[in-house]
Amino acid sequence: MPAYRLTLEYDGTAFHGWQAQPRERTVEGALREALHRLGEQPPRLTAAGRTDAGAHAHAQTVGVALHRRWEPATLAAALNAHLPADVVVVAAATCAEHFHARRDAVSRTYRYVVLCRGSRVTVARQYAWAVRGPLDVDGMRAAARALVGTHDFASFGAATAPGGTTVRTVDAAAVDHVVLGRPADRRAVEAVVLTVRANAFLRGMMRAFAGALVAVGQGRMTPAAVAQLLVEPARRESTITVAPARGLHQWAVTYPVTEAA
């Protein structure tokens, strides 16, 4: 059967996450419905990750085997004609029949957007977590450096399968301070963007990272305390606030060169 690798972008605000669920609107459900309208009933469909309800994706990778052979550009255009406005196929390519979007990925990159605002946020409220600022960005960077490496991240998330390991490898963790507009302008937007690349993520891991780093930025936690959670991991560290899903953006997924389209 011909197999394809799709790259999806979606606004997760009105979706109950990626994975299809009964009586819930999901991205997988929307994609399956679009494929059904094209006369396809995919026997196998895999995704790079299960995004949470309300989280967004800029490069969700999906592998699908179809009955009919399609030109990739034609397939993307046909799917987009049937997909709702909040999800789009930005790229399509042929791939090996054995391609598995989750198991074949070698790294994932997530971003989390934090707005430093004293008043209520309206325009960006669906795509960022608004907190009272300013934040101690240097302290957040020190805490982020402690996350890099191979650790047991049980304090920051749960295994994706019952009894699964909570050890993951974080390749990079960055904290960027961004100001859109002149700082003196009341309309200026001050944001802190957290970017983490890892071989894989636990459930809730990136949102817990964001919660911990914001706690450091607000002086409620120290970088040393974050590092200690990696030395003595707990099965759910109650002191960590899990950041809301709306600020989470699945940013990129990397595959071996042999799996490239």
By annotation, the residues acting in catalysis are 52
Query: What are residue 159's DSSP bridge partners?
Result: none
CB 195 within 8 A of CB 176: yes
155 phi and psi, to 5 degrees? -70, -15
**Sign of the Cα pseudo-torsion (97, 5, 2, 87, in order):** positive
Angle CA 115–197–63, to nearest 5: 105
Residue type, 23: R
Instruction: Name the 3-class secondary structure at 82.
Output: helix
CB 104 within 8 A of CB 256: yes
In the structure encoding, which two tokens stand for residue 2, read together?
């011909």
Give the whole-angstrom CA distance, residue 59 versus residue 6: 9
| Among the listed residues 176, 168, 178, the one whose alpha carbon sits nearest the alpha carbon of residue 140 | 176
Residue 199: which residues within 8 A CB-CB, separation 6 or more? 106, 107, 108, 168, 169, 171
Give the whole-angstrom CA distance, residue 27 versus residue 23: 13
